[in-house]
Amino acid sequence: PGTMLFDYAPFTVHRSMAVREIHSGRQTLIGSGSTPTYDPTGHILYRNGFEGIWAIPFDLGSLQAAGDQFLVESRGIRPTVSRNGVMVFVEPQYGGTQQLVWKDRSGRIAGTIGRPQHRIVNPDLSPDETRVVVEARDVGDPQQFDIWIHEVKTPQKSKLTFGPQNESTPAWL
């Protein structure tokens, strides 16, 4: 509860990942990568350039990497992980759309979530694992980002926000 994981670009165009203890101010650089998320199995999942989703074992006690990085999914971007370790990520599709997918730990597709959509960004799996909220573009207005909810068990999606401004970075509380 008192530790924050984030990415930043310290005076370069390359993104790095760091972890910071909020109360003490202690900050540790983890390495290069972006959009990190903590997996309760003891790993940090992240994007390494254009090379998919990677993982690195991570010790919360020492705030240090605890092993070598490894590739989790070559085509995936923007992972999110539930409290029990279930991962959901965006898999780019041909034609400019993207699809949320489930994969098992061996890398096989276990299913898709919701419906394909243009430019899915920042997915967040609900605590009960029944829905995924995303920031995405609508076909009718390709410049507008809105918040959408994709149902996990059915190919349904619904638009949550409307209006002229872009809404972004949704998260379940």
Q: Which two tokens stand for residue 159?
A: 């638009």
pLDDT 10s digits, 39-65: 888 888 888 776 788 999 998 888 888
Does position 101 have pLDDT exceeding 80, yes or no?
yes
Token output for 168: 């972004």
Closest to 39 measured CA to CA, from 77, 88, 76: 88
Record the tokens describing residue 109, joined without a space.
Answer: 């597709």
Q: Beta partners for 81? A: 87
What is the pTM assigned to this prediction? 0.62
Kind plus residue range of the DSSP H or E element containing 161: none
For residue 149, how many other CB atoms are within 10 A of its CB? 17
CA dist., res. 146 & res. 45, Å (int): 25
